Amino acid sequence: MASERGQLFGSDLRLRDGAGGLDLSLEGPVGWSGDLALAHGNDNIVQALTLRLRVRVGELAPLGWPDYGSRLHELIGEPDLPRTRLKAQAFARQAIEADPRVRQVSALHVFALPGERSVLRLALEVALIDQPTPLNLVFDLALEGP
């Protein structure tokens, strides 16, 4: 089953959060002259879905992907109100379910982090095609701009 999952979700370059953005990860310790790290299976699908939530819809249109991304960026500057949370749910569901490897978002909860007035946490349970076990995905959305 692990090889089926790896085949379905494939491999991609592993990204890491860097100073103000995403960067490529390297194999081995820092400064080691190794290869670029890869994300396989579950790590790859989690990374792919997270990127889909981070990218503004239409941002990749010049590269031939006009519908890729989400509308979550539209919520930056909005207050943490019930309508903002409902929009976050709708925007996240729409983006995630657009991925061809996703059957459906079976659960999606949006809540504020304790002590954080401007960050919403989206906790998603995602049913993937040909997989009996759902995937848990957590995404933090900053309502204040950079």
Bigger pLDDT: 17 vs 135: 135
Residue 46's pLDDT is: 85
Contact 124/92 with Cβ under 8 angstroms? yes
For residue 60, what are the contacts with CB-CB under 8 A and spacing of at least 6? Answer: 66, 68, 69
Q: pTM for this one?
A: 0.78
Residue 7's pLDDT is: 54
Phi, psi of 3 (to 5 degrees): -70, -35
The tokens for 90 are: 């709708």
Please name each of the domains of the chain with its CATH number: 44-142 (3.10.450.40)
pLDDT at 72 over 90: yes
The amino acid that residue 123 corresponds to is A
Half-sphere exposure in the Cβ direction for 16 (13 Å, CA)? 9
Residue 43's pLDDT is: 75
Alpha-helix runs per DSSP H in the chain: 2-9, 41-54, 82-97
How many Å is the maximal CA-CA distance in the chain?
A: 49
Q: How far apart are CA 73 and CA 80, in angstroms?
A: 14
